[in-house]
Structure 1
Amino acid sequence: MSNIKDNFDHILALLNINALNEMQLASIEANEKEKDIVLLSATGSGKTLAFLLPLLSRFQPDNKKTQAIIIVPARELAMQIEKVFKSLGSGFKVTCCYGGHLRETEENNLIEPPALLIGTPGRLADHIRRGNITTDSIETLILDEFDKSLEAGFEEEMAFIIGSLPNIKKRMLTSATQAVEVPAFVGLKDRQVLNFLTDEEASPEKLAFKVVNSADKDKLESLFRLVCYLGNRSTVVFCNHRESVERVSAYLTEQSITNVFYHGSMEQQERDSALCKFRNGTSNILVTTDLAARGLDVPNIRYIVHYHIPNTEDSFIHRNGRTARMDASGTVILIIGPEEKTPAYVPEAEPIELPQETILPEKPKWSTIFVAAGKKDKVNKVDIVGFLSNKAHLKKEDIGLIEVKDFFSFVAVKKIKMNETLRLIKNEKIKNKKVKIDIAK
């Protein structure tokens, strides 16, 4: 583990953080021993670094086969872990596998085995059955948010994957929930439990709880008035059903409230577009199901609104974990209908008296451009910045967050510059190739 400790300053500089927290340091120390590890820590506390840093120290540079596998319950979490791993600048190859991603692309990525494989249970099991993954070289197994994988019904696929890994020497499980039994197929033997789920973390002072009492069973008008009351701060609105997500989003749009929606029935490009618009400030409001309750890493989310009361306390905790992350503060707001009662697990909540007069929030200052070219087309962020600077005459401050995917990219551009930008680049080529460029749908 010495190589990680020796490179702390360099790693922290790459991550733009001052220091690791107590939980992350405890994980690094525990990983120096032979024991398997169960890490329990609150959502948003930094568990990803807590397992990636020790993992990195075990990698052998001369080993050209896959050395570790991370199994996660959702594709967004897989992509987030991949992003963090790449930011460490280790030089080790990583490949992400998940449903909704082109299997042919993943198969090409697996021809040259990655040191680290990250993926969802169904897709990883599929690749193993097809012989695309060499499993006998994998010595480290990490189950991130393993409780959610079990809850989502992935037990059979996980059992198959783990049963296909004959040479595991180190196992590490993470969860933000304490009361979950680890199935026997995981193979935990001599384990060390790192429990950072303290009472203080379960109801942190930095998280405020408030309630809106709606006179209408439907609650749509109450949500609209609440959004006007909150202003243009970053807000996630949780619903219990996909149909409700689209209905709520459509209603807000009708009321001239800029928003995006996100749920499991959307195509991958639609999901990526929605999350990108929320991250880059094209929309300050995301309407979603519990799909976004885990793995969604968007900094500075100010408000969590429970349009529907969550079905379980666990769901409530994970929804709330999208705000008040690390050192930030946040506010959780429940909208309670006339026939509903506040669940017993909700801390004492201060009522919000919404004003009768509604003032629409200020519109976002950014728009998002879709570019039909990405990593597989050898297009990167530098190429896109250069293209927009040279062809559309945009200044640095006119270009916001850029996200480059495998076959397409999203670019935030100041809204006041959008029409002129599209006019200027209409017939231009990027890296000598004519590609579709338009406002992101």
Structure 2
Amino acid sequence: MQNKKYSIEDALAGLNIEALNEMQVASIEANKTHNNVLLLSATGSGKTLAFLLPVLEGLDYSNTKSTQALIIVPSRELALQIEQVLRSMRTGVKITCCYGGHLRETEEKNLVQPPAILIGTPGRLSDHIRRGNITIDTITTLVLDEFDKSLEAGFQDEISFIIDSLPGIQKRILTSATEAVEVPDFVKFDEPHKLNFLSEEDAENNRLAIKTVISEDKDKIEALFRLICFLGNRLTIVFCNHREAVERTSSLLSERGITNVFYHGSMEQRDRDSALCKFRNGTVNILVTTDLAARGLDIPHIRYIIHYHLPHTEDIFTHRNGRTARMEASGTAILLLSREEKVPAYVTQIEEEITLPEEVELPEKPKWTTFFIAAGKKDKVNKVDIVGFFTNKGQLKKEDIGLIEVKDFSSFVAIRKSKASTTLNLVKNEKIKNQKVKIEIAK
């Protein structure tokens, strides 16, 4: 298979990265000589790029009208994250992302012209294969990203069906942030070449401080409120064990004046997108969530992880904490304990117990508001269009426009809060790209 030269330099330029790290270089070299590669590396260490570059180097660029590589992931958020990285890498090939939570028919239209690289969650990919929407015969490369998480989530049957449906697989790449995964026989992962960079976790743990806070009440909401006030206006994720607890905790914090959003697997896709966009763009600094957010979400600069409920396992504890202290940054994980709760045996390096003051002040309110626009990529709307729209029709300066995220059929824009009301009145009846679309404050 003769490839045109794929430029790693172009990929790095698109991602604003100066050089690859040791793990990424090792992955590229290993994939040149081995058909089965197992990549073990800590959360936040750059595994996505470590498998995408070998995938891109392995494409037949003379035949990009057929699907050559399939990337299976455990969550829609991870699928969308990988898609975004690929699009930033200036690949020049078609990429399609398939996941539950939005219309299957939209994906079916995208699959009529097969993408060179297909990314998706197990359930939705299985559905498309059964309906004959995917050109399975041409797929030669299979990536199972966060494979241990897919097994934990119960996707074994779907992944087994997908792999059994692919007759032409020549290369398999599996990634994981934990070594405690047994690869089932159906993966056909014979004599894999293992790249184990999990020792990087030692350095990560040195940057991660673990602390405790004791709640005098069994219901810990008052202690959580005072802890958030004590920590100040920093990006913080609060982990609960159940969806009902997430919504209750978020509501009680809101009643006390803490601006926050909640996030869990039963939410509609638009609501999930909105919550994460608000957290990323500075509209809120507190995200209350289940363990859905413990893996796959790449949100930089998270300073604090609060374990409102103790994690059920050490593995969950590790991955929750992996949202902070990423790459060269530092972070703090805080276990919020009632008097009846004990620190789990696997937590061995507690730095200190935080004593909360009796009197606290509410953190400073965020300076951004998120606008929702009912138009996106499929409507031919992009970030440049949105900036132009708000500077012209909304009379904003560029510094009053923050992070913009464009989805398939919607977009989210951070607008400086002091300008939000005036801006909404100016733009709500205007057209963007000659289209009259709903524009409102994101719910």
Normalising by structure 1, we get a TM-score of: 0.98
Match of 1:42 in 2: 42
The answer as to whether partners of 2:79 and 2:120 remain within 8 angstroms in 1 is yes
Question: What amino acid is the match of 1:166?
Answer: P
Is the counterpart of residue 428 in structure 1 residue 442 in structure 2? no
Matched, 1:419 2:392: no
Aligned to 1:134: 135
Aligned to 1:52: 52
Q: C-alpha distance in 2, partners of 1:202/1:310?
A: 22
Identical counterparts, % of pairs:
71
Find the aligned partners of 1:329 and 1:386 in 2 and give their Cα distance: 37
Task: Give the secondary structure class of the aligned counterpart of 2:50.
Answer: helix
List structure 1 runs of 4+ shifted beyond 4 angstroms. 1-6
Amino acid at match of 2:414: A
Contact 1:42–1:202 (8 Å) recurs in 2:
no
What is the aligned partner in structure 1 of residue 151 from structure 2?
150
Which whole-Å CA distance do the structure 1 matches of 2:311 and 2:133 have between them?
39
Q: For residues 222 and 5 of structure 1, what CA distance do their matches in structure 2 show?
A: 58
What amino acid is the match of 2:23? M
Q: Distance in 2 between matches of 1:343 and 1:227?
A: 23
- SS of equivalent residue, structure 1 residue 340: coil
Give a deviation string over 1:28-80, Cα, whole Å, max 9, x none: 11011133001111111110000001110011112110000011111100000
Q: Where do 1:238-249 residues align within 5 Å? A: 238-249=239-250
Which range is displaced more, 278-287 or 373-382?
Answer: 373-382
Return the letter of the residue paired with 1:417.
K
CA–CA distance in structure 1, aligned partners of residues 210 and 307 of structure 2:
11
User: What is the TM-score normalised by the length of structure 2?
Assistant: 0.97
Following TM superposition, by how much is the alpha carbon of 1:432 offset from its aligned partner in structure 2, in angstroms? 1.3
Q: Structure 2 counterpart of 1:162, which letter?
A: I
- Contact kept, 8 Å, 1:42 with 1:201, in 2: the verdict is no
User: Residues of 2 paired with 1:396 and 1:273: CA distance?
Assistant: 22
Shift of the alpha carbon at 1:326?
A: 1.1
Distance 1:98 1:143 in 2: 15
Mapped partners of 2:370, 2:54: distance in 1: 37
Pair 1:377-2:379 in alignment: yes
Contact 1:28–1:50 (CA under 8 A) maintained in structure 2? yes
1:289 maps to which residue? 290
> Match for 1:395 among 394, 397, 408?
397
Corresponding position of 1:16: 16
The one-letter amino acid paired with 2:237 is V
Query: Within 5 Å, which residues of 2 pair with 1:2-401?
Result: 7-63=7-63, 64-198=65-199, 200-201=201-202, 204-349=205-350, 350-401=352-403
- Residue 18 of structure 1 deviates from its aligned partner by 2.1
How much has 1:425 moved relative to structure 2?
Answer: 1.1
Amino acid at match of 2:265: G
Deviation sequence 1:199-222 (CA, Å, 0-9, x none): 753762111111101111111001
Task: Tell me how far apart the structure 1 counterparts of residues 169 and 202 of structure 2 sit (CA, whole Å).
Answer: 33
Q: Supply the distance in 2 between the matched residues of 1:131 and 1:200 (Cα, whole angstroms).
A: 42
Question: Offset at 1:7?
Answer: 3.0
Indicate conservation of the 8 Å contact 2:3/2:62, yes or no: no
Residue type at the aligned position of 1:65: S
Q: Which amino acid aligns with 1:25?
A: V
Distance 1:5 1:288, change over 3 A: farther
Shift of 1:138: 0.2
Post-superposition offset of 1:8: 3.5
Q: CA deviation at 1:4?
A: 10
Contact 1:239 1:245 in 2 (8 A): yes
Residues 5-37 of structure 1, C-alpha deviation per residue, up to 9 Å, x if partnerless? 983433222211222111111101101113300
CA distance in 2, matches of 1:138, 1:50: 20
The question of whether the paired residues in 2 share the 8 Å contact of 1:370 and 1:409 is answered with yes
- Deviations along 1:105-156, whole A, 9 cap, x unmatched? 0000000000011111000000000000010100000000111111111100
CA contact (8 A) 1:35 1:190 kept: no
Q: Aligned partners of 1:76 and 1:10: how far apart in 2?
A: 25
Q: Contact (CA 8 Å) 2:70, 2:117: kept in 1 or not? A: yes
- For structure 1, which runs of at least 5 residues remain unmatched after alignment? none
What's the offset of the Cα at 1:430?
0.9
Say whether the 8 Å CA contact 1:212–1:335 is kept in structure 2.
Answer: yes
Q: Which moved more, 1:386-395 or 1:9-18?
A: 9-18
Contact persistence 2:234–2:285 (CA under 8 A): yes
Secondary structure in 1 aligned to 2:409?
A: coil
Cα gap change, 1:200/1:246 in structure 2, threshold over 3 Å: closer, same or farther?
closer
The answer to whether the Cα contact below 8 Å between 1:39 and 1:172 also exists between their aligned partners in 2 is yes
Which residue identity is paired with 2:423? T
CA distance 1:135–1:200, shift in 2 (3 Å): closer
Whether contact under 8 Å (1:213, 1:336) holds in the other structure is: yes
Please list every run of 5 or more consecutive structure 2 residues that lacks an aligned counterpart in the other structure. Answer: none
Aligned residues: 441
Partners of 2:3 and 2:58 within 8 A in 1 = no
**Conservation of the 8 A alpha-carbon contact between 2:4 and 2:61:** no
Q: Which moved more, 1:53-62 or 1:237-246?
A: 53-62
Higher deviation after alignment, 425-434 or 250-259: 425-434
